[in-house]
């Protein structure tokens, strides 16, 4: 197993956000996490990327800093929970945050260069930039534009492109389709498929069930901080209880 | 009559005894009131009088900080009110209980003028502008040395009251009263005043506050006016106590000290500023006793400040309250941390984790 998550629990003070979550992702898979608002999808991805630990450390001693974080995350056989987030990124496990979060006052090209911070070889950087532009022609057109002026879809693409720049092997994409128009969504859909085709393992969280189920090879359904079901799209949709209660279809 | 006493007792039990933070405040205030029974040594009293005056000053700085405006020139209010009170006292012979409020009012006017740039500037830019205010005032004072006393300052100011103990009680009572008013003005949970909620909203997000129909211009100026008034009262008390109004109270370092005290105690809480003064000021003064302390005291105090803030980033009072108080999740009532159930709604205060 490529990524193995065992019993992750996250509490913000007395509020339980993740309750003993366990799952796994194999190499080359495209797995989706679906579930309603507040199910803990984003927190789970942030925990995998080491951001909850970072949050816990930086807020230590404040009233907001009472965060409990337990469990284990094995990535390629190595324990990730004890690593700081920049070291997790070094291993190739990269988070694309919700709504892209580009460095807003930098141009698209500068964003990509910042993403390539981990790559020392300038030739490789140049090569990757060309490859990324091939994958997202929109970004090529906008290369000199300040990224704060990009549209929502372009921002999401930029964040995926930025993750690819750091030679990602495993992408965690948080709600890629949030707030996008249907046509843009379709475009993004095929881009993510292409990225997956390049041999990159992807775990994405999503609220749009259609988008997630069409894209993913396997799905996890989350609710109130727990993984409550797992399976292929057809199996999940066949289950009356899951379909009605959690997917709202 | 019996009913009335019972009502007072019930109120005291529910509103004071049940909330650890308020118990500490009441005990501390009672201690200050009873202290002259134990000792009337002039040096101890002098030192506590100074602490009380600086507590008002730091709290008034904090009142402005509640609205998210970090002032680096708060000595402006202290100094301008001090000079106003001194001039009125010297030229018209009015007693302290008139000159101090007048000094406060003059600081309100100064505060409203100082608040005008704040309507356009935010964050660091505002702080930089406020840094210039006391410097401007110092300049004005040196231009008219005959009127303002120049470098030497104004002398011949009347006493605050007849005796040291009288001075002490005046200052302690004013400190408690103005501290209470400022706390209420900035308390977002107050049921009587809305200013607390409004100030907090402006600090969190000014655009959202405007969209909620809050006239942020009015409330920011209001914050300047209140902050100026109480800062001015502190300034007036100060000059009547040390009986000299000089330019030393306008120094940049004095403004920064207000910030240090308030941040150390807990920024944006008012009581935090008072706690900060009563911890840091005695420490600074105590070190003076030693020969090496005179030179090193600010180094030592700064190190204490840095280490405390490293472990308690929100300030010492917030950290302590967080340890001894726990807020009920259902009814938002504050409970002592040792309770297992909320004192009013009986809801469990801590949740056992479900396995």
pLDDT tens digits, one per residue of A19-57: 999 999 999 999 999 988 889 999 999 999 999 999 998
CA distance A141 to chain B (A): 34
| Cβ–Cβ gap B311/A63 under 8 Å | no
pLDDT tens digits, one per residue of B220-249: 999 999 999 999 999 999 999 999 998 888
> For residue A247, is pLDDT > 90?
no
| Cβ–Cβ gap A19/B354 under 8 Å | yes
Average pLDDT over residues A1-5: 91
Domain boundaries along the sequence of chain B = 39-268
Q: Which of A63, A69, A71 to mutate to test the interface with B (most CBs of B within 10 A)?
A: A63
| Cβ–Cβ gap B319/A14 under 8 Å | no
d(CA A145, CA A141): 9
pLDDT of B353: 62
Spell out which residues of chain B touch residue A61, defining contact as CB-CB under 8 Å. 310-314, 319
Map tokens 């990159």 to a residue: A200
CATH number of the domain that residue A78 is part of = 3.40.50.300
Nearest-by-Cβ selection for A61 from B311, B329, B353: B311
Which residues numbered 282-321 in B keep a CB inside 8 Å of some CB on A? 310-314, 318-319
CA distance B102 to chain A (A): 41
| Cβ–Cβ gap B318/A14 under 8 Å | no
Phi-psi region of A111 (alpha: psi -120 to 50; beta: other; left: phi over 0): alpha
Look up the domain containing A103 and give its range: 3-247
Q: Is B241:B52 a contact under the CB 8 Å cutoff? A: no
pLDDT tens digits, one per residue of A94-135: 999 988 899 999 999 999 999 999 988 999 999 999 999 999
Supply the pTM of this predicted model. Answer: 0.85
> For residue B352, is pLDDT > 70?
no
Which residues numbered 131-160 in A keep a CB inside 8 Å of some CB on B? none
The residue of chain B with its CA nearest to that of A16 is B353
| Mean pLDDT value across chain B | 90
Nearest-by-Cβ selection for A63 from B311, B318, B355: B318
Structure tokens at B271: 């009581």
pLDDT tens digits, one per residue of A146-177: 999 999 999 999 999 999 999 899 999 999 99
pLDDT of B273: 95
pLDDT tens digits, one per residue of B284-326: 888 888 888 788 888 888 899 999 999 999 999 999 998 898 8
pLDDT tens digits, one per residue of B150-166: 888 888 888 888 889 99
- CA-CA-CA-CA torsion for B234, B235, B236, B241, nearest 10 degrees? 90
Task: Give the residues across from A67 on adjacent strands.
Answer: A12
Q: What is the ipTM of this complex?
A: 0.72
| Cβ–Cβ gap B319/A16 under 8 Å | no
Determine phi and psi for B39, rounding to 5 degrees. -140, 140
Give Cβ neighbours of residue B206 (< 8 Å, ≥ 6 apart): B68, B122, B216
Burial class of A91 by CB neighbour count within 10 A (0 to 12, 13 to 18, 19+): middle
DSSP H stretches of helix in chain A: 41-48, 51-58, 85-90, 108-115, 122-135, 137-141, 152-165, 182-197, 209-215, 233-238, 240-242
pLDDT tens digits, one per residue of B171-213: 999 999 999 999 999 988 778 888 999 999 999 988 889 988 8
pLDDT tens digits, one per residue of A70-94: 999 999 999 999 899 999 999 999 9
Please check whether residue B325 touches A, CB under 8 A: no
HEC string of B156-217? CCCCCCCCHHHHHHHHHHHHHHHHHHHHHHHCCCCCCCCHHHHHHHHHHCHHHHHHCCCCHH
d(CA A115, CA B324): 45
Spell out which residues of chain B touch residue A16, defining contact as CB-CB under 8 Å. 351, 353-354
| Cβ–Cβ gap A61/B354 under 8 Å | no
Determine phi and psi for A206, rounding to 5 degrees. -155, 145
pLDDT of A60: 85
Burial class of B51 by CB neighbour count within 10 A (0 to 12, 13 to 18, 19+): buried
Task: Give the residues across from A171 on adjacent strands.
Answer: A94, A202
Spell out which residues of chain B touch residue A19, defining contact as CB-CB under 8 Å. 354
3-state secondary structure (DSSP) of residue B340: coil
pLDDT of B177: 95
> For residue B344, is pLDDT > 80?
yes
> For residue B355, is pLDDT > 60?
no
CA distance B120 to chain A (A): 23
């Amino acid at each position: 197993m490529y990524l193995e998550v065992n019993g992750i629990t996250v509490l913000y003070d007395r509020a339980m956000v993740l309750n003993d979550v366990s799952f796994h992702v194999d190499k080359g898979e495209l797995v989706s996490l679906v579930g309603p608002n507040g199910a803990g999808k984003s927190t789970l991805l942030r925990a995998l990327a080491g951001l909850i630990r970072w949050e816990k450390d930086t807020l230590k001693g404040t009233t907001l800093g009472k965060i409990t974080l337990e469990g284990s995350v094995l990535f390629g056989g190595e324990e990730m929970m004890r690593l700081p987030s920049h070291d997790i990124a070094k291993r190739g496990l990269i988070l694309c945050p919700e709504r892209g979060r580009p460095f807003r006052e930098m141009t698209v090209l500068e964003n990509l260069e910042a993403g390539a911070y981990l790559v020392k070889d300038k030739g490789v950087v140049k090569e990757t930039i060309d490859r990324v532009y091939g994958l997202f022609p929109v970004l090529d057109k906008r290369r000199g534009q300040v990224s704060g002026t990009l549209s929502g879809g372009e921002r999401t693409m930029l964040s995926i492109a930025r993750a690819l720049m750091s030679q990602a092997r495993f992408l965690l994409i948080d709600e890629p389709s949030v707030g996008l128009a249907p046509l843009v969504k379709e475009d993004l859909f095929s881009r993510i498929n292409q990225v997956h085709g390049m041999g990159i393992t992807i775990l994405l969280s999503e609220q749009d069930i259609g988008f997630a189920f069409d894209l993913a090879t396997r799905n996890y359904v989350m609710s109130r901080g727990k993984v409550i079901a797992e399976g292929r799209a057809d199996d999940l949709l066949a289950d009356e209880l899951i379909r009605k209660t959690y997917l709202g279809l | 009559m019996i009913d009335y006493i019972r009502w007072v007792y019930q109120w005291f039990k529910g509103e004071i005894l049940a909330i650890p933070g308020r118990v500490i405040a009441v005990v501390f205030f009672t201690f200050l009131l009873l202290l002259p029974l134990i000792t009337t040594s002039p040096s101890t009293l002098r030192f506590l009088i100074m602490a009380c005056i600086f507590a008002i000053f730091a709290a008034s700085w904090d009142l402005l900080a509640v609205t998210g405006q970090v002032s680096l020139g708060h000595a402006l209010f202290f100094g301008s009110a001090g000079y106003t009170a001194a001039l009125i006292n010297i030229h018209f012979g009015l007693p302290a209980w008139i000159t101090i409020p007048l000094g406060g009012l003059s600081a309100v006017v100064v505060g409203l003028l100082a608040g005008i740039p704040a309507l356009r500037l935010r964050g660091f830019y505002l702080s930089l502008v406020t840094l210039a205010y006391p410097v401007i005032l110092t300049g004005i004072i040196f231009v008219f040395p005959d009127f303002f006393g120049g470098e030497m300052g104004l002398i011949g100011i009347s006493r605050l009251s007849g005796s040291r103990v009288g001075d002490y009680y005046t200052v302690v009572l004013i400190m408690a009263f103005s501290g209470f008013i400022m706390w209420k003005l900035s308390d977002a949970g107050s049921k009587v005043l809305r200013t607390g909620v409004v100030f907090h909203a402006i600090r969190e997000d000014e655009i959202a506050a405007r969209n909620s129909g809050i006239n942020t211009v009015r409330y920011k100026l209001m914050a300047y006016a209140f902050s100026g008034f109480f800062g001015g009262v502190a300034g007036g008390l100060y000059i009547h106590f040390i009986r000299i109004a000089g330019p030393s109270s306008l120094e940049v370092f004095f403004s920064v000290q207000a910030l240090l005290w308030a941040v150390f105690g807990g920024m944006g809480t008012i009581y935090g500023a008072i706690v900060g003064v009563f911890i840091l000021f005695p420490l600074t003064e105590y070190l003076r006793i030693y020969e090496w302390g005179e030179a090193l005291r600010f180094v030592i105090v700064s190190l204490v400040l840095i280490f405390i803030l490293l472990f308690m980033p929100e300030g010492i009072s917030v950290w302590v309250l967080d340890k001894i108080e726990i807020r009920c999740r259902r009814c938002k009532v504050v409970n002592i941390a040792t309770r297992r159930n909320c004192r009013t709604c009986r809801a469990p205060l801590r949740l056992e984790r479900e396995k």
